[in-house]
Structure 1
Amino acid sequence: MIIIIKKKYFILAGIIMFLASLFIISTTKIIIPVYNEEIYLEAEQLCRKKRQIRPEDPPLEGLDVTELQLGLEKAGYYLGEHHGVYEYKTIEAVKQLQHDNGIEPNGIVCDEVWAAMFKGESETKITSSEDPTGDLVLIVDLDRRQLTVLEDGKEFAKFPVTIGLPQSPSPVGDFYVKNKGYPKGSGFGTRWMGLTVPWGGYGIHGTNNPGAIGSHGSAGCIRLFNRDVEKLYEWVEVGTPVILNSERTPPKFRDVYQKGAGGQAVVYLQRALKEEGVYEEPADSFFKEEEEQAVKKLQSKYRLPETGKTDANIIYLLGLR
C-alpha cells in the first residue's frame, strides 16, 4: 500500500512538473525559427520554388512570368502587357537588365536577375528599436499593398508587401496565424507564417524576388522582404489576428446564405452585417449561429420574416448587389 501511495505521488509530481513546463514555454517568446516538416510541405505546396525562366520554343507561360513582367516594369525595363508569356519583348527586357547589372545577357532569369530588379530602400517604417510587448494585430491593406502592425491598437510598424495576382487574388477577411516555420530550400524566403483561411492555404512569408515587393505578384500569399519578415516572425505568435482588407469588387452573390455556408462571399456578408450594427464577430467566412441571429435582427428591423437566412431582399439591403 505504501509503495502504491508513493507511486501515485510520484505520478502527481510528474504531472505538476509537466504542466509547469508548459506554462513556462507558453509565456516565453521563442524567436528561433524551427524547421517543421508539416509546415514545410504546406508552404512548399502553396508557394512552390520558382522554375528557372529561360528562352524556349514554345515560350514558357505562367504566373511566374507575369510576376517577372511586373517586376521588370517596376524597375523600368518593360512596358508591355502582363500576359505571362516569356516572349521576345520580355526576353529583351531581361537581357537589358542583365547587361546593366553586369550579368551575362542570356535571357535566363537567375536569382541575380530577381535581385537586380529591386534597387533602393523599402518603405519599411518601425516606430521603436525595441520589440513590441503588447497585443499585436496585423492589418494587410491589399489595395495599398501594405502590412501594418498594431500594438495595443497603435501603429508599431509598416511593411510593403506583394499580394496576389488578379488571377490568384489574396483573400479578404479576419483570420489568425495558425503556424510558423522556417522551410529550407524553398522559393518563399526565410520565414513562413500560415493563415487560417479555410478555402485555401495562404501565408505570410519572405521572397526570393525582392523586385516584386509592392506589386501584384503572388499566388495569393503575402510576401515581404526577407529582412522584414524576419522581424515580423520574431514579434508574431501563433494566434495573432490577421485582418486582410480591400475595396476591390466583391464576388457575385447568390440570394440564399444560411447556417453552414462559407467562403469569400460570406466574409463580405459578415462585414456588411457589421456595418448595419447587427453583427460584432470577426469576418471569418463561416455562416454560423451568430450570423443567423444577425440576419434575423436585420429582418426584424425591416419587418421581414425572421428566417435567419438571406434572400434577394437582404442581399439588396446590405448593398451587396
Structure 2
Amino acid sequence: MYFIKIFILVLLILILFMTNTLAEENKELCDCKPLRNLSLHNPLMEGDDIWELQQQLKDLGFYKGEINSIYDWQTYLAVRNFQYTSGLKETGIVKEELWVELAEALNKRSTITATNKRSQAPEGKVSLLINGYKRQMTVLSDGEAYYSFPVAIGKASTKSPIGEWAIIAKDKDWGGGFGVRWMRLNVPWGIYGIHGTNKPGSIGSAASHGCIRMFNRDVKVLYDWVEVGTRVKIIGRRDKIEINHDLKPRNVGADVLLFQEKLRGYGFNPGYTDGRFGGDTKKAMEEFKYIYGLKDDLEGDQNSFYILNIQ
C-alpha cells in the first residue's frame, strides 16, 4: 500500500509538471491575448501589438520611424496625428475603437473587406486551403472551390505552420485576441488555430504569431460550415527545417513533416503531412526501405536521408 501511495504521488507530480510546462509553451506559441490599451508610459511599453500598430500606421503614412515594437515618442505622435485626421479625440491612447478606425482607413485603400455574401453552407465534404502567399482561405466542397475569405497569417518571425492539419476543437465567444470564434488545429508543436480578431486592419497581412485571423463577420460563417475533423491545408513560406537525428514511429515535429514531404515527393504515401510518424508513414517507410534494399526497419536514418536528398 505504501509503494502504491508513493507511485500515485510521483505520478501526480509528473502530471503537474507537464501541465505547467505546456502552459509555458502555450504562452510563447499563441498570440491570442486580450486587447490592452497602449499609451506613452515610463518605462516604455513593448509588444507585438505595438509592432502591429506601427505597421498599420506606417501603411497609412502616419508613422515614419523604425518598426521596433516600442510605444515611443514617434509612435505616440503618429497615433495623435491619425486621431486628428480621423476626427477623434487626440489622446495618444490606443483602445479597441482605434483598431477599428485603422481597419476602416486601411480598407478604403484596399479591396480587402469582410465578404461573406454567401450564407448557405456547402453541400459536399468541406476542407480548407489557406494560401499564405495570397493571404486567402478557400473553402472546398468535395474538393472544388466553393468560397474564399481574406485572412491574416503569421508574421516573418512567427510564421503560420505549413502542412496538412485538422480542426480538433471549436469554441464561441472567447473574446480578446480570439475574436468571436476559435477553431484549433492539430499542430503537434504548439497551439495554432483559426479565429476572429479585434484588429481587423491586420487582415490581408502577415501579422500574427502563426494563427490564421479572419474578420469576425467571416469567421462566424466559417464556424458553421466546418466540423471537428475538417481538414485544413496551409501553404506558404516557412523557416528551414533541419533533421539532426534518426526518426522513429511516434516521433512528432517539423522534422517528421519534412520527412513525410520527401517521401511523398519520391512516390510514397505517408498520409497527411502533419508532423506525426504514425501508421500511414510507417507503411510508406516499409515500402520505401523494401524498394531501396535498406535495413528492414521503420527508422528514418542517414541512408534514408541521403536517398531522399535531405541535407
TM-score tier, shorter chain, comes to: 0.7 to 0.9
Please state whether the residue corresponding to 1:176 is helix, strand or coil: strand
Residue deviations 1:194-236 (CA, integer Å, cap 9, x gap): 2222222221111111111111222221110111111111211
Contact between 2:31 and 2:208, CA under 8 Å: does it hold in 1? no
The answer to whether the aligner puts 1:318 opposite 2:303 as a matched pair is no
User: Structure 2: which amino acid aligns with 1:293?
Assistant: K
Which consecutive unaligned segments of at least 5 residues does structure 1 have? Answer: 1-41
Residue deviations 1:128-164 (CA, integer Å, cap 9, x gap): 5633121110111223221111111111111111122
Contact between 2:171 and 2:181, CA under 8 Å: does it hold in 1? yes
Q: Aligned-pair distance for 1:314?
A: 2.8
Match for residue 201 of structure 2?
Answer: 211
Q: 1:171-190 counterparts in 2 under 5 A?
A: 171-190=161-180
| TM-score, reference length from structure 1 | 0.78
Q: Aligned-pair distance for 1:71?
A: 2.2
Q: 1:94-109 counterparts in 2 under 5 A?
A: 94-109=79-94
Of the candidates 239, 242, 245, which is equivalent to residue 249 of structure 1? 239
Match for residue 16 of structure 1?
Answer: none
Of the candidates 189, 206, 209, which is equivalent to residue 199 of structure 1? 189
The alignment covers a number of residue pairs equal to 279
Separation (CA, whole Å) in 2 of partners of 1:191 and 1:105? 32
The answer to whether the aligner puts 1:134 opposite 2:147 as a matched pair is no
Separation (CA, whole Å) in 1 of partners of 2:217 and 2:81? 28
Q: 1:36-75 counterparts in 2 under 5 A?
A: 47-75=32-60
Contact between 2:270 and 2:281, CA under 8 Å: does it hold in 1? no
The answer to whether the aligner puts 1:294 opposite 2:284 as a matched pair is yes
Q: Aligned-pair distance for 1:46?
A: 5.6
Change (3 A) 1:63 1:200: same
Q: Aligned-pair distance for 1:127?
A: 8.7
Which consecutive unaligned segments of at least 5 residues does structure 2 have? Answer: 1-25
Please state whether the residue corresponding to 2:138 is helix, strand or coil: strand
- Please identify, of 277-286 and 175-184, the stretch whose mean Cα deviation from structure 2 is larger: 175-184
Separation (CA, whole Å) in 1 of partners of 2:93 and 2:124? 47
| TM-score, reference length from structure 2 | 0.81
Separation (CA, whole Å) in 2 of partners of 1:320 and 1:79? 43
Calculate the aligned-residue CA RMSD, in Å: 2.5
Contact between 1:176 and 1:196, CA under 8 Å: does it hold in 2? yes
The answer to whether the aligner puts 1:110 opposite 2:95 as a matched pair is yes
Separation (CA, whole Å) in 2 of partners of 1:93 and 1:113? 12
